[in-house]
Amino acid sequence: MEHSGMVHHTWNSSYIALSFLIAALASYISLELAGRAGRNLRNAANRFWLVAQALVLGYGIWAMHFVGMLAFEVKAAVQFNAAWTALSGLAAVVFMYPALLILHSGTFNLRRLAVAGTVAGTGIAVMHYLGMYGFRVPGTAVEIAWLPLIGSLLIAVGASMAALFLFHRLSGAWRTQQGRFKIVGLQALASLVMGAAIIGMHYTGMAALKYNVTDELALGTAASGADTALLGLVVSVVSFLLLGLAVTSIFMDAGRGGDLDELDFETNATAAASAAD
């Protein structure tokens, strides 16, 4: 039975809220890791934190994307192609690391920021559309809406440039001159903005793909598909475990003296104040 028209869908507000939470939390931890990495990439420890930042941010964006796709609910047994879904997650990390490397490999300027932002934004877009390609709704065909697609690409690059600027700002000498509470507050605010930008790109990108019904019988009688509730739970648990592991590593590093630059600055400031007295 053939039928034309868009497939009826609803949005699950709980998954939308969860996708924002994952994006904001990953952004916050990435900002913290940016401070650990610094800008001297000749140091092995700094390179480690840079790799950790790329992994956390790349995986966090992918997990947000995956949960955001689960928020798209249709009365059919949707399916996820495992290979394309895994490849989309890999793309997010693979593009994020060179973007961070470009950002910290020379004098900071608008051109460098634009190149790094374009690389990161391209990675986010590739991740998103690879993941969408692996999302299958039986009995439908996908139609591309070009205006939202272009909009999603612009948002991805713009959000990436904003995020990378914040990473640069919070990974240099300026950071050591601010109090810890101020840094935490700025990172919290920035992570909320970054989270909103990331999910803005995701849902704009989803609006770029229209699922038109081609076979109403196949759409209505598909018997097996992904258990979205279980998938959402698994991805969420793994996400929070990995992000929690990153936070634990940060605190362990701090306990070993990972914030030496900040401590040195505070010590010098205290000594200067004592000398003045």
Give the tens place of pLDDT for each residue, 173-223: 667 777 778 888 888 888 888 888 889 889 999 989 888 888 766 565 544
**Maximum CA extent, the chain:** 88
Q: From the CB of residue 43, how many other CB atoms can be counted at a distance below 10 Å?
A: 13
Window from 60-69, 152-161, 225-234, 256-265 with minimum mean pLDDT: 256-265
What is the mean pLDDT of the segment spanning 227-232? Answer: 60
Residue range 84-98, pLDDT digits in tens? 888 988 888 889 889
Beta bridge partners of 74: 9
Q: How long a stretch of residues is the chain?
A: 277
Q: Between these two residues, 277 and 103, which has the higher pLDDT value?
A: 103
For the chain, the structural domain boundaries read: 9-226+260-271
pTM: 0.77
pLDDT at res. 112: 93
* CA–CA dist 29, 35 (Å, integer): 10
pLDDT band at 36 (very low <50, low <70, confident <90, very high): low
- Of residues 169 and 276, more confidence is placed in 169
> Which among 106, 97, 108, 124 is positioned nearest to 165, based on CA atoms?
108
Please tell me which residue, 227 or 194, carries the higher pLDDT value: 194
Query: Is a pLDDT exceeding 60 seen at residue 273?
Result: no
Question: How confident is the model over 109-154, as pLDDT tens digits?
Answer: 999 999 999 999 999 999 999 988 888 887 788 889 999 999 999 9
Closest by CA to 122, choosing from 101, 94, 145, is 94
